[in-house]
Amino acid sequence: MSVTVLDVARAAGVSASTVSRVLNGTTPVHAAKRRRVLQAVRHLGYEPNGLARSLKQRKSLTLGLVVPDITNPFFAEIAKGVETASHRLGYSLILCNSGNAVERERRYLEVLRERRVDGLVFVPAGRHGDALRAWAARGLPVVLMDRVVAGVASDAVTTDNRFGMKLVVRHLVRLGHRTIGFIGGPRGVSSADERWVGFLEGLREAGLAPESRLMVRGDFTFETGLRAAPALSAAARGRLTAIVASSDVMALGAMRAVHQRGGRVPETVSIAGFDDIAAASLVQPPLTTVAQPVREIGERAVELLVGRVAGERTRPSFVRLKPRLVVRHSTGPAPASGARR
C-alpha cells in the first residue's frame, strides 16, 4: 500500500535500519549511502508512519487539550497559545471541548489515554476532579490552566486572580466609589473563588464593609451579567455606583442591562470586567478590565508539560502569572452622591 522503510531500503540498496538511521540521524552513515537513501525517499515519496514510530518508541508526540468551551474567547486564546507551543515543540494537539460537562470530560480523558497522548493540558470544567485524579494517579503528566482542582497536586499555570481583583477595587475606590456590586463566578472554580476573595480584600483594604446582598454568583455568561446588574441595583436601593464582574462576558452583559434601562456607563454606573477578551476593547464604552496573559498561560503550560514528559522535574510546579489592570472608559468618577434608579 503505502511506501515503507523497506521499500526505500531496497531502492537504495541498503538495509531498513540504515534508512531509519539516516532519517533520524541516530548514528553516522556513510555519505554515499546516505545520499542514495535520501534520493530514494524523495523518489518514492516516502512518508514515515508516525503510528508505527509511536508504537515502537512508546511515545506519541501528541498532547491532549481539554477546554470547557472553545468558543469562549478566553479559552480560544489559551488554545491558540497551547497550539502554537505544541507544534513548535514537535507535538500534535488533540482538541477536546468538554462543554462544561463532567461526564464528557471523563470520556475524553479515556479517549486520550487510549490514544496514548504523552500529556494533557487541561482546563477542568467543574470542581470535581475524580477523572483527573485517576489520570494523575497513573502517573500521566497533566498541566492545569486557569484553575486548579482540590486534591490534585499537578503542574499548573494560573493568574494571580486575587491580586488582579484587588487592582480593580483599588481603581474604583480611587475614583470615589463606595458601594460596589460584584458578580462572581461559579463556586468551586478556583479562579472564580480567588477573585471573590480578592474583591473582599480590596474592600477591606479601603475600609469598606462588604454587603452580601451586593455580591452574586454567576456562571460566566452574558445572561448572568444581564440579569445580575438590575438585581444588584435594586438590592442597593440607588446607592450602587459601580459593578465589578468576574469576567468580561458578564461585565458586557451588565453593561447591556444598564443601557437597556436607559442608564449610561460610566455616568450612571461604572463597570469593570476580568480577562480582557478582544471584545472588551471593541464595545462602547471600551471596558476597563484585568488583562490576563492568556497567550503566555498556554505557552507556559505546554513548556511545563513537555518538560515533565521528558522527566525533568519531579515535584509539581505552580506558575502564577501577574495580570494587569487595563483602564478604559467604562469606569469613571463616582457621582457626587445619592439616588438614581
Name the site residues for DNA (rule: CB under 7 A): 1-2, 4-6, 14-21, 23-24, 26-30, 33-34, 46, 48-49, 52-53, 55-58
- How much of the chain is helix, strand and coil, in % rounded to 5? 45, 15, 40
Cβ of residue 110: shortest distance to its own copies, in angstroms?
A: 8
Handedness of CA 45, 47, 52, 58 (dihedral sign): positive
Of 95 and 153, which CB lies nearer to its own copies in the complex structure? 95
C-alpha grid cell, residue 168: 480593580
HSE-up of residue 336 (Cα within 13 Å, Cβ side) = 0
95 binds, among its own copies, DNA, none (CB under 5 to 8 A by kind): its own copies
Of 68 and 198, which CB lies nearer to its own copies in the complex structure? 68
Of 73 and 202, which CB lies nearer to its own copies in the complex structure? 73
Cβ of residue 44: shortest distance to DNA, in angstroms?
A: 11
* Three-class SS state of 242: strand
CA distances in angstroms from 268 to 186, 241, 329, listed in the order given: 27, 7, 13
Question: Which residue is associated with the grid cell 455616568?
Answer: 267
212 binds its own copies (CB under 8 A): no
Mask of contacts with its own copies, 27-56, x by CB under 8 A?
Answer: --------------------xxxxxx-xx-
Beta pairing class for 215-217 and 242-245: unpaired
- Subset of residues 104 to 133 that bind its own copies, contact rule: CB under 8 A: 108, 110-111, 113-116
Mask of contacts with its own copies, 246-265, x by CB under 8 A?
Answer: ------xx--x--x------
20 binds its own copies (CB under 8 A): no
Mask of contacts with its own copies, 229-248, x by CB under 8 A?
Answer: --------------------
**Quick check: 243 and 331 in contact, CB under 8 A?**
no
Amino acid, res. 281: S
Residue 82: CB atoms within 10 Å: 29
Q: Which of 97, 224, 289, 292 binds its own copies (CB under 8 A)?
A: 97
**Stated length of the chain:** 341
Taking the C-alpha atoms of residue 290 and residue 311, their distance in angstroms, rounded to an integer, is: 35
Of 31 and 336, which CB lies nearer to DNA in the complex structure? 31
CA distances in angstroms from 221 to 86, 173, 212, 216, 280, listed in the order given: 29, 26, 21, 13, 14
Positions in the binding site for its own copies (CB under 8 A): 1, 47-52, 54-55, 58, 60, 62, 65, 69-71, 73, 76-77, 79-80, 83-84, 87, 92-97, 108, 110-111, 113-116, 222, 252-253, 256, 259, 278-279, 282-284
